[in-house]
Chains A and B, each alone.
Chain A
Amino acid sequence: MFRYTAERIFQSLLVLLALSFAVYGLIGLMPGDPIDLMIQGDPNLSQADAKRLKAIHGLDRPLVERYGAWLFNAVQGDFGYSRNHSQPALDVISDRIINTGLLLGLSLVLSLAIAIPVGIYAALHPYSKTDYAVNLACFAGISVPPFWLALLFIILFAVVLGWLPAGGMATVGDGGFLDRVEHLVLPVVTLTIASVGDFTRFMRASMLQTLRQDFIRTARAKGLSMTRVVTGHALRNALLPLVTIIALSFGRLFSGALITETMFAWQGMGKMIYDAILGNDYNLALIGLMFATALTLIGNFLADLGYVWLDPRVSLSDRERTV
């Protein structure tokens, strides 16, 4: 177990290193840079100004040299300065991690809280009216673009009904617990609707497959109630594919968060990373993307641990590793 964990950490560090180089290179290869765009927007600026500003921001040096300097400082804990926010990159990201964590965490918990029971119910009543209704709702959730849904919610709940705020994270000058909760409702619900359909479909399919297994038939033949069979035997097996999907969905949740955060003016990671990439804010883009990658890697690692817990046949010990 210890060796497995150490190996995974080492592999993750390699992935992060490769990713940092790839991201740095890709941002650098994008045509134009913010200084060029600044020149376009300010008739008073000359090419001499552009040259001077590029030198100040280090944009005149070769890409590899810039990356090397960044890596050298990053290893020492200095992740540089964000040009978009005029603050140290680490300071910018720390607040946003909490905001996005709150949004994604609540949305994930809510999605699973809905998807697991609904998926099980649909699997237990396949091809019934309820099953069809669940499927329809799932496909609707998957198909509806989050930006459209967000706009619809804003118009309905903020404009027409006036029940909830249209955006932001708290009322300026208030910021009490209830006020923050009110601001969370619409973004969380939007993200939840965007992800719950997938989870429900996977849960249903997985449970349906598990229920057809011999050991379930045996359990039923022994006279166990359906509830007992599902909770005691089928659920743990059916959860295995869902765990994989959850682990892989971290990255996708980030992209969903980008749209939700933009629509609801939520100060989170998704929008920050997007703006940083477009604005050639290398330091912020790198640290943001590395964090998102690290989160996905951690998610996968936790999923591996989850397999062991859910399925006793899976082992992470050195001799009989099956994952």
Chain B
Amino acid sequence: MVRITKILMAAALLIFATTATAKDTLTIGISQFPRNFNPNIESMLAKSYILAMARRPFVVYDADWKLRCMLCTELPDLKKGTAKIVTANDGEKGLEVTYTIRPDAVWGDGVPVTTKDVMFTWKVGRDKRSGFSNIEPYKRVAKIDVHNDKKFTVHVSKFTCDYRTRYSIGVLPAHIEAKNFADPAQYRIKSAYETDTTNPGLWYGPYRVTEVASGSHIVLEPNPTWWGKKPAFKKVIVKAIEKTSALSANLLSGDIDYIAGEVGLTVDEALAFNLRTRENFVTQYKSGLIYEHIDLNLDNPILKDRRVRRALIHGIDRAGISTQLFRGHQPISHGQTNPLDTVYDKKVPKYRYNPPKARELLAAAGWSELRKGIRYNAKGERLQLDLMTTAGNKSRELVQQVLQSQWRSVGIDIRIRNEPARVFFGETVSRRKFPHMAMYAWISAPESVPRTTLHSTMIPSADNGWSGQNYPGFANKAMDKALDDAEVVCDEEPNKAVWRDLQRIYAEELPAIPLYFRANPFIMPKWLKGVVPTGHQFATTLWIEDWYVGK
């Protein structure tokens, strides 16, 4: 009897041990594989997602959309004197921002993260040949004063309110990368992030990259030199499975444990997945800063008339679309500013679904004659508009069909003309070739001033080499002023007032029709706890040390 009991106990222990071991590894599925691993060369969701486990930025927005330090000890602040407004040599307002690197911050090979790394990164960033995608923050830095190994002051030539995040550079390990930068033009090829990705000295997060199978998977293991809370998983495997149907099947088969919301399924795919199975998984939908909207070409004589633009928005049931197609997981937007953003104004003008009002506005705009349900003006011109979007994007194509039918009911004939993404974005939108309406999304950041998309100097044209992203061609002096002020009026109340103006003008003038804020579905096993979706560009993996296996 004793023997049998011992055997049973041993078997139970073995089963328990096996279960525990299995949960030491977390396999995450994503739908993209990073093209490269250097944090400053090209911005890519999949890369940000993976690097967030192995590196930490100076400053991030947390899940509550509050700024917090990760690599620094304290947020720079004008009130505390760690940020100072100064007058630059040209008389312009400049800025001095002081950061202190955490004293316990070390690279994975034990070398401390110091100001030498900051200076090296600045040197690389300033060099146009280095291949950094965004060199603006480096160009704006006139000089950096090094106080000691951990403390430095950045001297900036232009003052803007976003100073706490703008200079939060992706620091590079000088002791490894300096030799690879000998020829700046070759840096993007010779960077150790590409040639020696598993070098521990490249990483300073809770995990470090230990294996890369190009196009297939990346393995991360705990970084012994990490200074923070020890992560729960002994191994994190990130598998790239591009086809989302295969990604779902892999989750069901147990080949992956969790589909990341940031780079995984769309809401409609997640809804379909949940219809099939919901026993072992929890799906969290988090709407965020991806703003789905329809740009209106304001050069077009029909759309130049604000009454027509307002009729368009009154003529569509955005709340119904959100409920019917996305089960309410993608909240409708009333402008380009997200309600989760601290600068959002709750009193922003809102448009309800009101077909009679839409008909009334169209009639007032001269589109009063109805023939076979379609409106015509006094010249006999038909109210026909082209609605374009990216071909093959199922969610957008679904929405497009509903919009077409709803607009038809108020007398607007919509022609759907879709194009592959690279034609649509590479040519049609960027060169403002869409005749009437273009449906797509903008990605922004919290408190980000939409200068490039709304300022009159940002209207792309052949004369300015198609620079700027104000594709509707929106030119409004009040908006220009609000945008200029939003960048430099930083005191809380005046800043809120500027943002209020900005949102009001946008809602009243309607350079674009706001649709909804896209949501990311995080499909995780019931035992995975601690994952807190953020809704902004900072990935959940920045807090992976808080993830654990629950009961």
Name B422's contact: one of A30, A42, A86 (CB within 8 Å): A30
In the A-B complex, list the 5 residue pairs whose CB atoms are closest, starting with the nearest: A32-B426, A47-B467, A158-B253, A86-B36, A31-B427
- Report the minimal beta-carbon distance from B316 to chain A, rounded to whole angstroms: 25
When distances are taken between beta carbons in the complex, the residues of chain A under 8 Å from B136 are 44, 46, 49
- Report the minimal beta-carbon distance from B454 to chain A, rounded to whole angstroms: 12
A42 near B215: Cβ-Cβ < 8 Å: no
- Report the minimal beta-carbon distance from B125 to chain A, rounded to whole angstroms: 12
- Report the minimal beta-carbon distance from A60 to chain B, rounded to whole angstroms: 12
Q: A43-B442, A46-B136 are known contacts. Are A37 and B426 too (CB-CB below 8 A)?
A: yes
Q: List 24 A-B contacts (CB under 8 A).
A: A31-B426, A32-B425, A32-B427, A37-B421, A37-B422, A41-B43, A41-B44, A43-B443, A43-B469, A44-B136, A49-B135, A51-B465, A52-B128, A53-B131, A53-B133, A85-B214, A86-B188, A154-B246, A159-B253, A167-B241, A172-B213, A265-B216, A265-B239, A278-B422
Interface residues of B in 177-199 (CB under 8 A from A): 185, 188-189, 194
- Report the minimal beta-carbon distance from B172 to chain A, rounded to whole angstroms: 16
When distances are taken between beta carbons in the complex, the residues of chain B under 8 Å from A40 are 425, 429-430
Cα distance A271–B443 when bound, in Å? 28
Chain A residue nearest in CB terms to B217: A172
**Is A144 in the interface zone, CB < 8 Å from B?**
no
**Is A264 in the interface zone, CB < 8 Å from B?**
yes
Q: A40-B425, A53-B131 are known contacts. Are A162 and B253 too (CB-CB below 8 A)?
A: yes
A47 near B468: Cβ-Cβ < 8 Å: yes
Given contacts A86-B35, A168-B216, A278-B422, 9 further A-B contacts (CB under 8 A): A36-B430, A39-B469, A40-B425, A43-B444, A46-B452, A46-B467, A166-B246, A263-B246, A267-B213
Cα distance A7–B241 when bound, in Å? 44
Chain A residue nearest in CB terms to B256: A166
B43 near A37: Cβ-Cβ < 8 Å: no
Residues of A within 8 A of B (CB): 30-33, 36-49, 51-53, 56, 81, 83-87, 92, 95, 147, 150-151, 154-155, 158-159, 162, 165-169, 172-173, 262-265, 267, 271-272, 278-279
Q: A92-B214, A158-B253 are known contacts. Are A56 and B129 too (CB-CB below 8 A)?
A: yes
Chain B residue nearest in CB terms to A164: B253
**Is B219 in the interface zone, CB < 8 Å from A?**
yes
A267 near B246: Cβ-Cβ < 8 Å: no
Cα distance A219–B464 when bound, in Å? 83
Cα distance A45–B453 when bound, in Å? 12
Cα distance A170–B426 when bound, in Å? 38
Cα distance A85–B195 when bound, in Å? 11
- Report the minimal beta-carbon distance from B26 to chain A, rounded to whole angstroms: 12
- Report the minimal beta-carbon distance from B167 to chain A, rounded to whole angstroms: 13
Name A41's contact: one of B35, B237, B443, B460 (CB within 8 Å): B443
When distances are taken between beta carbons in the complex, the residues of chain A under 8 Å from B393 are none
Cα distance A83–B131 when bound, in Å? 12
A86 near B189: Cβ-Cβ < 8 Å: yes
**Is B245 in the interface zone, CB < 8 Å from A?**
yes
Cα distance A33–B422 when bound, in Å? 7
A52 near B426: Cβ-Cβ < 8 Å: no
**Is B255 in the interface zone, CB < 8 Å from A?**
yes
* A-B interface pairs (CB < 8 A), number: 158
Interface residues of B in 386-443 (CB under 8 A from A): 421-423, 425-427, 429-430, 442-443
Cα distance A147–B129 when bound, in Å? 43
Chain B residue nearest in CB terms to A92: B214
Interface residues of B in 1-57 (CB under 8 A from A): 27, 35-37, 42-44
* Range for the number of chain B residues in contact with chain A: 35 or more
**Is B211 in the interface zone, CB < 8 Å from A?**
yes
When distances are taken between beta carbons in the complex, the residues of chain B under 8 Å from A150 are 246
Q: A46-B467, A52-B128 are known contacts. Are A154 and B427 too (CB-CB below 8 A)?
A: no
When distances are taken between beta carbons in the complex, the residues of chain A under 8 Å from B254 are 162
- Report the minimal beta-carbon distance from A316 to chain B, rounded to whole angstroms: 42
Name A49's contact: one of B37, B134, B240, B453 (CB within 8 Å): B134
- Report the minimal beta-carbon distance from B503 to chain A, rounded to whole angstroms: 17
A166 near B426: Cβ-Cβ < 8 Å: no
Among A36, A43, A83, the most chain B Cβ lie within 10 Å of the Cβ of A43
Q: A56-B131, A158-B249 are known contacts. Are A38 and B42 too (CB-CB below 8 A)?
A: yes
When distances are taken between beta carbons in the complex, the residues of chain A under 8 Å from B239 are 168, 172, 265
Cα distance A33–B423 when bound, in Å? 9
**Is B527 in the interface zone, CB < 8 Å from A?**
no
A32 near B129: Cβ-Cβ < 8 Å: no
A52 near B252: Cβ-Cβ < 8 Å: no
- Report the minimal beta-carbon distance from A102 to chain B, rounded to whole angstroms: 15
Name B246's contact: one of A31, A42, A265 (CB within 8 Å): A265
When distances are taken between beta carbons in the complex, the residues of chain A under 8 Å from B445 are 43
A167 near B246: Cβ-Cβ < 8 Å: yes
- Report the minimal beta-carbon distance from A83 to chain B, rounded to whole angstroms: 7
B245 near A168: Cβ-Cβ < 8 Å: no
Cα distance A167–B250 when bound, in Å? 7
**Is B274 in the interface zone, CB < 8 Å from A?**
no
**Is B87 in the interface zone, CB < 8 Å from A?**
no
- Report the minimal beta-carbon distance from B215 to chain A, rounded to whole angstroms: 5
Name B249's contact: one of A48, A166, A279 (CB within 8 Å): A166
When distances are taken between beta carbons in the complex, the residues of chain B under 8 Å from A92 are 214
Name A167's contact: one of B255, B425, B464 (CB within 8 Å): B255
**Is B227 in the interface zone, CB < 8 Å from A?**
no
Q: A30-B422, A41-B443, A166-B255 are known contacts. Are A267 and B215 too (CB-CB below 8 A)?
A: yes
- Report the minimal beta-carbon distance from A47 to chain B, rounded to whole angstroms: 3
A45 near B216: Cβ-Cβ < 8 Å: no
Chain A residue nearest in CB terms to B452: A43
